Amino acid sequence: MKLLNRIKNSPEIVENECDRNIDGENIQIEGSISNKTKNGKISKEEYTQRKLKSRHIQLIGIGGTIGTTLFVQIGQSLVKGGPGSLLLAFIAWCIPILCVTSSTAEMVSYLPIPSPFIRLAGRCVDEAFEVMTGWNFFLLEAIMIPFEITAVNVILHFWFKDYSLVIPMVIQIVLYAAINVFAVHWYGESEYWMSIGKVLLAIGLIFFTFITMVGGNPQHDAYGFRYWKEPGAFQEYISTGSWGRFLGFFACLTQAAFTMAGPEYVSMAAGEAENPRKVMPKAFKAVFYRLITFFIIGALSVGIICPANDPNLISAISNGHPGAAASPYVIAMTRLKIRVLPHIVNALILTSAFSAGNSYCYCSSRTIYGLALQGHAPKILSYCTKSGVPIVAVGVSLCFGFLSFLQLGKGAQAVLNWMVNIVTVSQLLNFSTLCVTYICFFHALKAQNIDRNSLPYCGYLQPYLAYVGLVCTLTMTFLAGYPVFVNWDVTTFIFSYIMIPICVIIFLVWKVFKKTSFRKSIDIDLTTGLKEIQEHIDSFIPSQKPQTWYQRFLAVIFGS
């Protein structure tokens, strides 16, 4: 109620979220709507629309976080650190992820606008900080598009050995274009159903692990936790003894930092959510359950079904075997003489990789669209079709898909490793900027006497969680590429740390040339845009309630 009164009565709230004059044209941004005004006439062609339901946003969050890494690349960490290190690393990394999620949820639920955490970085910290955050996140998401395209190509090799590599890459780019150029509702629907496949795969593999470990397999072998005893829970990596086991744990922690995405995929859909005040808090709260179910139990399952010294797993990783052939789950199925199931798993992993790439295309296009709205990217990128799709931004994002063609010259595995190194540090930098933004947001609320309990989402133990998240993610940023210092390789070093100088350069160049200044807590704008959001909520008409039993079942799990 206090928040609602502030929205309605504050004289600081203007009719539009922001009015910017760019090259003689006045750009008006209203929450999720962007209208371009020229010569006094308003064109209704440029806006995104709030058409994503709760179930769409819940599954978009899953679609962006679950890809091939959880089912295939996780085997590399098992070999390096062993099952104990793998489990402990995923549990440990949940702590900073939850800190970042709590911080982001409070800000985005309060102001669910397009590219919310990026634009809040400019409001709460500094305009140069916003530009750096936005371009870093755009590059993070855009680079993941060719990563998943390359992954799909590798997965196809599980079935087909002799075919042109170009064909599946081009087909995938065309499919991404087809899905993302239609109204956002259709993107939401496609991602919803593909992500359900990911959920079924993740849960199915957990059940597979439990059933087979108690003897439910063709060999009637109740192997239990056998592989935790032999070859052991903690493996040596790079060095020997306790130091080698610690390095094995840290290798698993680096893998967890790449595998476990946080709240950014949920928040990017805030500007197109039907009922953001209700939907966004629920979506962020679901992150906690997703972390436990898919990542922690998933890491435990991998350590149970496959030994860290399995020769088939080591050979598959060393030789770059395709798709599910390098998956610990499929190797376990082969050892237990289970047929057909490996092909089903590979098919679902293929769907997972395609779905993840689809999510990255969506997030990257919305990121650069938000940058264009703020004048931090060419204004042509803010153009939207009548159905609310930023089609130029989508086109730019899809161009990154052609980077997957690099595998034609160097080999798919090398290209994947380069992209993993870039994305890991970029993602850690993004988490750090989220925490910095929240800390400034928190102090602004305090300075302006805004009761946090009146917000749609109020995180616990703040701002301490934000500080914990900041320290953890910043530390990991500089340590993630540590193996390169043991076995020096210039190319690996460049791809491991290139995003750090890029972000610093973007920040300094913008700050120097634009002469920006850091925001004071009392002056931070916490009101612009709230009125439009409240007007949308007041006029929102809830969707028809689910009619059939399966619709009601899905609504209970993912929201209506």
pLDDT tens for each residue of 275-320: 777 777 777 777 777 777 788 898 999 999 989 888 888 887 777 6
> In this predicted structure, what is the pLDDT of residue 39?
36
Q: Per the structure block, which two tokens stand in for 8?
A: 């309605």
pLDDT digits (tens, 9 = 90+) for 181-230: 876 667 677 777 777 888 888 888 999 999 999 988 888 888 889 999 88
Domains of the chain, each with CATH number or no CATH:
13-558 (1.20.1740.10)
Return the C-alpha torsion angle 131, 280, 111, 381, nearest 10: 40
**Across 507-515, average pLDDT:** 91
pLDDT digits (tens, 9 = 90+) for 63-111: 666 767 777 778 888 989 999 999 999 999 989 988 988 898 888 888 8
**Size (the chain), residues:** 560
Q: What percent of the chain has pLDDT over 90?
A: 16
The closest of 148, 134, 255, 146 to 502, measured between CA atoms, is 134
Q: What is the pTM of this model?
A: 0.80
Q: How many angstroms separate the CA atoms of 495 and 323, rounded?
A: 24
> In this predicted structure, what is the pLDDT of residue 25?
34
Each residue of 466-502: b (16+ CB within 10 Å) or e? bebbbebbbebbeebbebbeeeeeeebeebbbebbeb
Residue 172 has pLDDT above 80, yes or no: yes
Check if the beta carbon of residue 446 is closer than 8 Å to that of residue 521.
yes
**Phi, psi (degrees; rounded to nearest 5) at 378:** -50, 135
Name the packing angle between helices 184-213 and 54-65 (round to 10°).
60
Residue 26 has pLDDT above 50, yes or no: no
Residue 29 has pLDDT above 50, yes or no: no
Q: How many angstroms separate the CA atoms of 97 and 288, rounded?
A: 9
pLDDT digits (tens, 9 = 90+) for 226-281: 999 888 889 988 888 899 999 999 989 988 887 887 677 777 766 666 777 777 77
**Across 454-462, average pLDDT:** 85
Check if the beta carbon of residue 450 is closer than 8 Å to that of residue 457.
no
> In this predicted structure, what is the pLDDT of residue 15?
36
Residue 344 has pLDDT above 70, yes or no: yes
Q: What percent of the chain has pLDDT over 70?
A: 78
